[in-house]
Amino acid sequence: MKRTIKIRNLDCAACAAELQEELEAIEGISEVSVDFVTQRVALVHEGDEALEKAVYSISHFEEVEIVDGSAPEKKERHIKEIVSILVSLVFFIPALVLDLAAIGSEWIAFGLYLAAFAAAGWSVVVAIVKNVPRAFQGGFHPGVFLDENLLMLIAAVGAFAIGQNMEGAIVMLLYQIGEYLQGLAVGSSRGAITKLMSLKSDSAILLEDGSQREVHPDELSAGDTILIRKGDKVPADCRLLDEAASLDTKSMTGESYFKEVRKGDEMLSGCINEGNAVRAEVVRPASESAVAKILELVENSAAQKAKPEKFITKFSRYYTPVVVLIAVIVALIPPLFQGYNFSRWIVPALNFLVISCPCALIISVPLTYFSGVGTLARCGVLAKGAVYLDGLAAVKVAAFDKTGTLTEGKFSVGAVHGEARAIQLAAALEKASSHPLAQAFEGVEAPAAEDVAEISGRGLSGMVGGKRVLAGSYKLMCEAGIPCEEVASDALLVYVAEDGALVGSVEIEDRVRPEAKEALEGLKKAGVSEIAVLTGDTEARAKAALRGLPVDEFCAELLPDEKPAKAQSLKEKGKLLYVGDGINDTPVMTASDVSVAMGGLGSDAAIEASDFVLASDNLNALPKAVRGAKKTRKIVIENIVFSIAVKIALMILSLTIQLPLWIAVFGDTGVMLLAVLNSMRMRAKIR
């Protein structure tokens, strides 16, 4: 069974890796993902006993606590770190002055340096003592034992042992300062993501029996009538009952503009009512609303790790022990050929230990992906995992469904050709269908229909007034052997036949989304080389309906089972992005490299099958998502290359010149901070 456990006080990326390794060693626990940014542990367990062991390990790991969803977030104050650093500085500064000025006894300076080391390093020693039993629990776990705490302690003690007292104290002091700054940076990014929680409304006004009652949004059910006052957040996805409303959609789309909503239109939760007070009918409970989808997807996205994240996790497990082994070789082997001059090679060996700490990578890489997911969410694009950002960044071909994706999917009945009663017969069948076209016949009076069946990709059949009625495409009429002439029209046509004779046809009108052209042009600018439309409509009608859009290829008259095959051929031109909204789009979503579902109008099946969800159905978010994914990928590569290059350079310098130990610590801490600061660039607005 899958389980997500919310925790707190896990603020170190290396600690998260250690906890993950410890949990993976428990029998019956698999697919473990520990994320220190979202403070969550995701795992799959076989039975309650395995889960109990996992819970025990988590709750006994350093200062980690397990919290339930109702527990308030604690503000990170880092009091202990600040006190340790300040006390250490109180001892270190006088010791440095005495040392440099050669004033007083060397033992006084040594005592002050030792006190500075103790003040900064006591927590490191405590962490090491706690790590020892865990490192040998269920076998030996070198990643738990050889963590950054032990490496820094060995480096500091080694410096004291060879008489480098200032180096020994400053190693631990700089390490604690680096840990503190790391906590601040991570906390800042975590805070930026948790701001998404402000999308949630704390209350709703329920209208019942002529009275008003304030309730929590979770108490609302589909069908309830609510009052939304000026300035109120929409508490749940609902349908407007009054004539008009004006919504500020910035929280859902990332752009501050007002959306005018008319009677019967849907209003997504999280938007703010900027007009007069209006009444609305709840269409989905708060737990299934657009805001709930955003928060759930962002919180769970960390469990789906991208390849660079997985690489860094594996890399750190082997990298640190290997570098420790190299440090031992550097300390012991060269002196054997240089007159046993061990003091010459102790400092380079200690430098290796300091430099081997992989914090810069295991912090910055997941932090960058998480920030990328959060940035896309603020633009109204929900990523189901960091793994999908890399795929989106590589997209070269984009394919779209037509109806409900490039068009608004709000159908209305137009002209009727043939007998006037064709519209009543079509309405009788369509009202028994869940197909989007059925919306066009709402309000049309129609006789009752029986035995209504869907003919996949063609239309409907059923009994109306004791007669067999067909309603669907021109192709359906031809296949049924019904004499029929195709009507020339730019609109979608529903042909109607009764007992084998054509009755007439009904035009169904649907408008192109106003932002469609800008969105497709934005995709081209973002690096998408080709745009295609996959539709079951005729090519002529599709071209007429989408006239003016920068579409390179129309793939028309496709049945649902033919779309995946077409997707495979498009993939030969490059990574394929597919955008759709209906149940019939799920097969092609599965076949494409990256898939996007329309979150507001899209079906649950399409949302479930997709990698990304457009929370507000605004296509303008797509080019932003592509640019955001590319920026995320670029920053991740920059951090990996920069961190490894600097560490290799420091290692080489340690072997060729007498590099002071504090420079190695400063360099390691500096690399980590620069990588984290580079990661925080993802928090900037995507344009």
Give the pLDDT means over successive 10-residue stretches in the chain (687 positions): 82 72 85 76 87 87 73 59 90 88 80 92 84 70 69 81 82 80 64 57 87 89 92 88 84 64 83 89 80 63 60 68 82 84 80 72 75 79 82 93 82 87 90 77 85 85 92 90 85 89 89 90 94 85 84 85 88 92 78 84 63 82 92 90 85 79 75 79 73
- Residue (of 61, 53, 68) closest to 36 by Cα position: 61
Structural contact between residues 666 and 175, judged by C-beta atoms closer than 8 angstroms = no
Exposed e or buried b per residue across 118-151, where buried means at least 16 C-beta atoms within 10 angstroms of its C-beta: bbbbebbeebbeebeebbeeeeebebbbbbbbbb
- In sequence order, what are the residues at sequence separation of 6 or more whose Cβ sits closer than 8 angstroms to the Cβ of residue 624? 254, 376, 379, 381, 522, 686, 687
Please give the CATH architecture assigned to the domain spanning 2-66.
2-Layer Sandwich (3.30)
AA letter at 445: E
Among 390, 401, 537, 585, the one annotated catalytic: 401
Residue 597 sits at φ, ψ, to 5 deg, of -110, 145
Query: CB of 441 within 8 A of CB of 430?
Result: yes
**What is the spatial distance between Cα 212 and Cα 205, in angstroms, rounded to a whole number?**
6
**Cα(546)–Cα(35) distance, integer angstroms:** 44
Residue 232 half-sphere exposure, CB side, CA atoms within 13 Å? 23
Does domain 381-407+513-617 correspond to CATH entry 3.30.70.20?
A: no
For residues 626 and 398, the answer to whether their CB atoms sit within 8 Å is no
Give pLDDT, residue 91: 93
For β-strands 395-401 and 530-534, DSSP reports them as parallel
For 275, how many CA atoms within 13 A lie in the half-sphere containing its CB? Answer: 16
| 52's tokens | 């109990």
Strand order in the sheet with 575-580: 381-383, 612-614, 594-598, 575-580, 395-401, 530-534, 553-555
pLDDT recorded at residue 305: 60
Q: What's the token pair of residue 134?
A: 């865990």
Domain limits, the chain: 2-66, 79-194+299-372+630-683, 200-293, 381-407+513-617, 412-509
Q: Is 35 a catalytic residue?
A: no
CA gap 67, 85 in Å, rounded:
29
Nearest Cα to 371, choosing from 75, 615, 35, 617? 35
Complete edge-to-edge strand list for the sheet that includes strand 29-35: 29-35, 40-45, 2-8, 65-66
Q: Give the list of residues 6+ apart from residue 370 with CB closer than 8 angstroms, or none.
A: 35, 37, 38, 189, 193, 301, 302, 386
For residue 153 the two structure tokens come to 């302690």
User: Could you give the C-alpha distances from 407 to 255, 510, 581, in angstroms and in order?
Assistant: 21, 7, 11
- The partner residues of 553 in beta bridges, in order of sequence, read 532
Query: pLDDT value at position 70?
Result: 47
CATH class entry, domain 200-293: mainly beta
Nearest one of 421, 398, 431 to 520, comparing CA atoms = 398
Give SS3 for 227: strand
* Under 8 Å between Cβ of 381 and 615: yes
Reading the block at residue 73, the tokens are 């977030």
- Cα gap 521→686, rounded to integer Å: 16
**What's the pLDDT at 257?**
61
CATH architecture of the region 412-509: 3-Layer(aba) Sandwich (3.40)
